[in-house]
Chains A and B, each alone.
Chain A
Amino acid sequence: MRWTVFAVFLALFALVTVLGFVAARWRRADLSQLHEWGLGGRRFGSVVTWFLLGGDLYTAYTFIAVPALVYGAGAMGFFALPYTVIAYPLVFAVLPRLWRVAHAHDYVTGADFVRGRYGSPTLALLVAATGILATMPYIALQLVGMEVVIAALGFPMGGWLGDLPLIVAFVILAAYTYTSGLRAPALIAVVKDVLVYLTVIVLVVVVPIKLGGFTAIFAKLPADKLLLPTPPAHSLGSYSAFASLALGSALALFCYPHVLTGVLAARDARTLTRNMALLPAFSLALGLLALLGYMALASGVDKLPEYAAYFARFKSSFAVPALILHSFPGWFAGVALAAIAIGALVPAAIMSIAAANLWTRSIYREYINPQCTAAQESGQAKLASLLVKFGALLFVLLLPTSYAINFQLLGGVWIVQILPALLFGLYTRWFHRGALIAGWAAGMLAGTAMALQLHLAGSVFPLRVLGWTVPGYAALYALAQEQRAPGRPVEVYEHNLSTGALTRIPLDGRAARNRRADLEAALTGMRARHYPPKPDRFFCPRCPFLMVCPAE
């Protein structure tokens, strides 16, 4: 046990526990109304909304995972920066509109909006189910973040003594979420954001001084971690992976139930737009946090024997806790680790409330008890918030950590599938509910299949257009190499830049032989300056050169 660290940690944890229960009396109102329990009465002003959304979007897992990704994969981990840079303008443009509609019709969730907009309980059910399904592993991931912190405090890893602190923390969290609703995370978020900012600023100032400045840090890093690899010819490579990760994450942000809960709890639409200009203050902290990954790499904490067991268990996720323990005296390490753990509590509470709201509105009131009273409705939501949390707890305790991470990845793929219903619905009713359901199903199937095909190892799928792209280029590469060094055997590999997997591309199949014959014919034609038009009833009408084609 690291006793000083633990004592400071415990004091801060006790403080937020008290705040969590006191929150029930804050802006006192009838908590047996769903919009009071689950949305804080829609009365949060600019300052509270800033803390709440900041506490909601930057989860404990962000603090652990973003630096861990930079630590492990280098520049690719910085996708988190463009993600937050573009997320706020997008939210600015869209979500105030959702707020106004939701306020006018007493919608509590995105699924409520979809239900009202398209008049389709089925579509709303799918949206709600997707939201709950994607939120569960996200809560589990917050627990994974806490597990890392608890281990860093010096508790034994594994065994009942190792799991006990996590269970205790979660029971307390569940209790004050039950009694206080969204008011609890809103109040605790203030403490959390202050602690996080404090920790990040101190880390970013102190660690580089100890390591001799940023120039010295970057000089120690391998060059391939500093920039994205330049894509090979005929591929967008890491560039498109980087950009699409950022854009996809920003679009998923709209759809996550906990984000919508935070947004709908604002007092008015102007509070929201003002916040979108103020929230980037957190992105700055995130960018600095990402730098911690480089610092951990340069400082070589992973080579220290006292942390070897932790790195063996948590891999790169232990980079930041190790850096904290290594760089600070015990009491400040306690503050920093408390910041991460409280950073897990706030989003976990909001996520469970969001999932509970979805369950209550789109499933319980729609299908099970349509005549329920307001008190029954909020009682059901409170119960659901408990179930969701304990489900996540069991998930983490009983299954390996990698499951939570993989399901969270899948959750990210799933949640974007409700974007069309949600986003387009704000502007037009032109889309038919059947079409939206079909689109949702197609997206879920295709996304899940792609993720499974990667064995859930990453979220960047090498897209092959009708199976042509890779074998086609493979034939071209093989041919080029053969002409450079005639007579020597050639092998072509596909290198997935995000997973590092190498796959040999067969060059002797029928498809590859045909491709090769096509290539040879085309090359011979080009050398002879002979390009006869080959009119085709199917391709010609779609050809961009139709209007200038000499054959027409």
Chain B
Amino acid sequence: MSTPPRHPTYPTRAWYLLLLLPLIGTLWVPWYNRATPTLLGLPFFIVYLLAWVPLSALLSGIVYWRTRRLH
């Protein structure tokens, strides 16, 4: 016996809008061109940019997860 088909909603491409966040977050320099607060001795400028790496991976992961049936 096969399992019943999953809820037949089609994934929406609106999730792709999440991918805009890293662009806005990293390209607007005045938000983060500061030395303080520091983390482990690293200036905020570097901490902020490094933080965007896992953050953008997370966002891409969410978009992948929600839209994977499109591919």
CB-defined contacts of B46 to chain A, threshold 8 Å: 78, 287, 291
Check A273 against B59 for contact (C-beta < 8 Å).
no
Q: Which of A222-267 contact B (CB under 8 A)?
A: 226-228, 230, 239, 242-243, 246-247
CB-defined contacts of B27 to chain A, threshold 8 Å: 82, 86, 243, 246-247
* B interface residue numbers (CB < 8 A to A): 16, 19-20, 22-23, 26-30, 33-35, 38, 40-43, 45-46, 49-50, 52-54, 56-57, 59-61, 63-64, 67-68, 71
**Alpha-carbon distance between A269 and B70 when the two chains are bound, in angstroms:** 10
Check A239 against B30 for contact (C-beta < 8 Å).
yes
Check A89 against B60 for contact (C-beta < 8 Å).
yes
The 8 Å CB contact of B56, one of A215, A227, A230, A280, is A280
Check B45 against A226 for contact (C-beta < 8 Å).
yes
The 8 Å CB contact of B61, one of A215, A243, A277, is A277
Is residue A276 contacting chain B, with contact meaning CB distance below 8 A? yes
The 8 Å CB contact of A284, one of B22, B29, B53, is B53
Closest 8 CB pairs of A and B: A214-B41, A215-B41, A82-B26, A89-B19, A280-B57, A277-B60, A239-B29, A277-B61
CB-defined contacts of A287 to chain B, threshold 8 Å: 46, 49-50, 53
Q: Which of A267-325 contact B (CB under 8 A)?
A: 268-270, 273-274, 276-278, 280-281, 283-284, 287, 291
Check B53 against A89 for contact (C-beta < 8 Å).
no
Check A88 against B60 for contact (C-beta < 8 Å).
yes
CB-defined contacts of A226 to chain B, threshold 8 Å: 35, 43, 45
In angstroms, how far is the closest chain B Cβ from the Cβ of A189? 20
The 8 Å CB contact of B19, one of A75, A92, A280, is A92
CB-defined contacts of B49 to chain A, threshold 8 Å: 78, 81-82, 85, 287
In angstroms, how far is the closest chain A Cβ from the Cβ of B34? 7
Check A277 against B57 for contact (C-beta < 8 Å).
yes
In angstroms, how far is the closest chain B Cβ from the Cβ of A149? 27
Is residue A213 contacting chain B, with contact meaning CB distance below 8 A? yes
Check A93 against B29 for contact (C-beta < 8 Å).
no
Check A89 against B59 for contact (C-beta < 8 Å).
yes
Is residue A110 contacting chain B, with contact meaning CB distance below 8 A? no
The 8 Å CB contact of B43, one of A89, A96, A227, is A227
Check A218 against B29 for contact (C-beta < 8 Å).
no
- Dominant secondary structure of chain A at its interface with chain B: helix
**Alpha-carbon distance between A214 and B41 when the two chains are bound, in angstroms:** 5
CB-defined A-B contacts under 8 Å, sample of 15: A75-B45, A81-B26, A84-B53, A85-B53, A89-B59, A89-B60, A218-B42, A226-B43, A227-B43, A268-B71, A270-B68, A273-B67, A274-B64, A277-B64, A280-B54
The answer to whether residues A273 and B64 also contact, given A213-B41, A280-B57 and a CB cut-off of 8 A, is: yes
Check A228 against B29 for contact (C-beta < 8 Å).
yes
Check A85 against B29 for contact (C-beta < 8 Å).
no
Check A230 against B33 for contact (C-beta < 8 Å).
yes
CB-defined contacts of B67 to chain A, threshold 8 Å: 273
CB-defined contacts of B30 to chain A, threshold 8 Å: 239
- The digit string for A362-380, where 1 denotes a CB below 8 A from any CB of B, is 0000000000000000000
For B69, the closest partner residue in chain A by CB is A270
**Alpha-carbon distance between A179 and B57 when the two chains are bound, in angstroms:** 36
The answer to whether residues A246 and B56 also contact, given A75-B45, A82-B49 and a CB cut-off of 8 A, is: no
The 8 Å CB contact of A82, one of B52, B59, B71, is B52
